[in-house]
């Protein structure tokens, strides 16, 4: 149940923020929040991170659906004491679905968080995915799962 609650919160925050950006800004418009550091920049990204593989809508939809199924499957395999791993999967699920909604609705992902010191513009779903991956790797390493899988081979 926690998986659903966390994922829904991520999806809600992501979609609400994108709604405001698309309602209040024009594509390509940039509003400085902290001059030369943090801007709101409305970008329509038809690709993956850094705009890679643009206009591959069906490919990204299929990959996302496969990832979502894997996340749900793996989450169900984890016992309740793997809280950090489970939390990381909930972040990944929410982020993946948030961007999937954009791709299904318009064929591109809406990005708007623009740190001028970091080239890509991103969104809340992207942030959840990156944080989720980092937490997943940390928790997986911390719990010794890498060691156990190496010993088995």
Residues designated catalytic: 111, 126
How many residues are listed for the chain in this entry? Answer: 153
Helical residues (DSSP H) of 25-123, grouped into ranges: 57-77, 83-106
Backbone Cα Rg of the chain: 17
Provide the 3-class DSSP secondary structure of residue 19: helix
Give the residue from 104, 96, 99 showing the smallest Cα distance to 72: 96
């Amino acid at each position: 149940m926690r998986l659903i609650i966390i994922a829904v919160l991520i999806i809600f925050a992501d979609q609400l923020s994108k709604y405001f950006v698309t309602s209040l800004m024009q594509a390509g418009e940039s509003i400085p929040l902290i001059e030369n550091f943090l801007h709101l920049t409305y970008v329509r990204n038809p690709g993956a991170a850094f705009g890679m593989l643009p206009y591959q809508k069906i490919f990204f939809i299929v990959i996302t659906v496969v990832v979502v199924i894997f996340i749900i499957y793996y989450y169900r395999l984890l016992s309740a004491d793997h809280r950090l791993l489970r939390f990381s999967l909930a972040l990944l699920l929410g982020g993946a679905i948030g961007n999937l909604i954009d791709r299904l609705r318009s064929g591109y992902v809406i990005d708007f968080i623009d740190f001028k010191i970091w080239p890509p513009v991103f969104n809340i779903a992207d942030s959840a995915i990156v944080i989720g991956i980092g937490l997943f790797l940390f928790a997986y390493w911390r719990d010794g799962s890498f060691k156990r899988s190496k010993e088995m081979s």
